[in-house]
Amino acid sequence: MIENRAKHTALIKAEAKRLGFMSCGISKAGFLEEEAPRLEQWLTNNMHGEMRYMENYFDKRLDPTKLVEGSKSVISLLLNYYPSEIQKEDSYKISKYAYGTDYHFVIKDKLKELLYYIQSEIGEVGGRAFVDSAPVLDKVWAVKSGLGWMGKHTNVLSKKTGSFYFIAELIIDLDLEYDTPVTDHCGSCTACIDACPTQAIVEPYKVDGSKCISYFTIELKEAIPESVKGSFDDWMFGCDVCQDVCPWNRFSKSHSEPLFDPNPKLLEYSKKDWEEITQEVFAEVFKKSAVKRTKYTGLLRNIQFLKE
């Protein structure tokens, strides 16, 4: 039985690598006891702002066995999205994760392939794939699986690759060999806290989501409050400041996923070009991008807010 676990674990990790995942770590599925009070306090303090969906499925968020019946293992996977080129200096900025095709589609396809491989090689294995689209605490599982530690900006950090990667999971009903967490290497560094334009990192390892530029430019559907005017550092969709200043991201290497390559206009456009963007150009540049979440009207609102 133990031999099988080792064999199955090795098979899964090798296939994850073949599919282009940067790293693969595995944890035992179960209740996240330490996370329960943290999540409860974060919600009570309204740090999720208008993101009311964060209040739903509290039990399932903390226990994957309630999400996937009979689940035994959480397979956490990282997929690099660090681009080889970034936008020009004189431009309104878009978070690097949204440069290319929406990651939900790219990763979901890879996860389905991985699950199909597990079923064809090992036998009848039940499970579900998750890409930031269900109540799963991805970052917590990535840390439990030894893929990195939780940085002070609450992104998962790895000594080898920094933090510019997506996190996804396969939750399956198969016992495997489990990885152990790595140690924290943030030390006394406060670069992310000091650099956050809206002081959203309220203390080490705690972000007030309702103060984050990503929240204002993506999640918030109504007008952006005047109180934060002048503090967006030209970000029109998302924000990478806390990651850009992190010393560990010196080790980021550009991805090798063609679907994450941006439309050339995204790299060429200046502020003036963005200010004049039409519905047609928006549809072309962001054809399959996560930027579509904010819609044309949302992006215009953000640009107008930066311009005034």
Q: How confident is the model at residue 57 (pLDDT cuts 50, 70, 90)?
A: low
Residue 48 vs residue 41, higher pLDDT: 41
- What 8-state DSSP symbol labels residue 158? B
Q: What is the pLDDT of residue 45?
A: 58
Does 56 have pLDDT greater than 70?
no
Neighbour count for residue 187 (Cβ, 10 Å)? 8
pTM: 0.91
User: Of all residues in the chain, what percent carry a pLDDT higher than 90?
Assistant: 78
CA distance 243 to 159: 14
Q: How confident is the model at residue 281 (pLDDT cuts 50, 70, 90)?
A: very high
Does 174 have pLDDT greater than 80?
yes
Q: What is the pLDDT of residue 66?
A: 84
Predicted confidence (pLDDT) per residue in 101-139, tens digit: 999 999 999 999 999 999 999 999 999 999 876 667 889
CA distance 250 to 159: 10
Instruction: List the single range of 36-45, 228-237, 243-252, 285-294 with lowest mean pLDDT.
Output: 36-45
User: Would you say 166 and 255 are in contact if contact means Cβ atoms under 8 Å apart?
Assistant: no
Mean pLDDT value across residues 162-190: 97
Q: Residue type at 56?
A: N
Q: Using only the alpha carbons of the chain, give its radius of gyration.
A: 20
CA distance 263 to 272: 18
Give the 3-state secondary structure of residue 23. Answer: strand
Does 187 have pLDDT greater than 80?
yes
Q: What is the pLDDT of residue 173?
A: 96
Does 49 have pLDDT greater than 70?
no
Does 43 have pLDDT greater than 70?
no
Q: How confident is the model at residue 31 (pLDDT cuts 50, 70, 90)?
A: confident
193-222 per-residue burial string, b: 16 or more CB within 10 A, e: under 16: bebbbbebbeeeebbbbbbbbbbbbbbbee
Does 301 have pLDDT greater than 70?
yes
Does 35 have pLDDT greater than 90?
no
- Write out the two tokens for 23: 């790293």
Predicted confidence (pLDDT) per residue in 75-88, tens digit: 999 999 999 999 99
> Which residues are marked as active site?
132
Which run of H or E residues covers position 165?
strand 165-172
Q: What is the pLDDT of residue 231?
A: 96
- Write out the two tokens for 305: 């807010």
Instruction: List the single range of 21-35, 146-160, 232-246 with lowest mean pLDDT.
Output: 21-35
Average pLDDT, the chain: 91
Q: Could you tell me the residue ranges of all domains in the chain?
A: 1-308
Mean pLDDT value across residues 176-190: 97
Q: What is the pLDDT of residue 44?
A: 61
Residue 199 exposure: Cα atoms within 13 Å on the Cβ side = 3
CA distance 75 to 278: 42
Q: How confident is the model at residue 228 (pLDDT cuts 50, 70, 90)?
A: very high
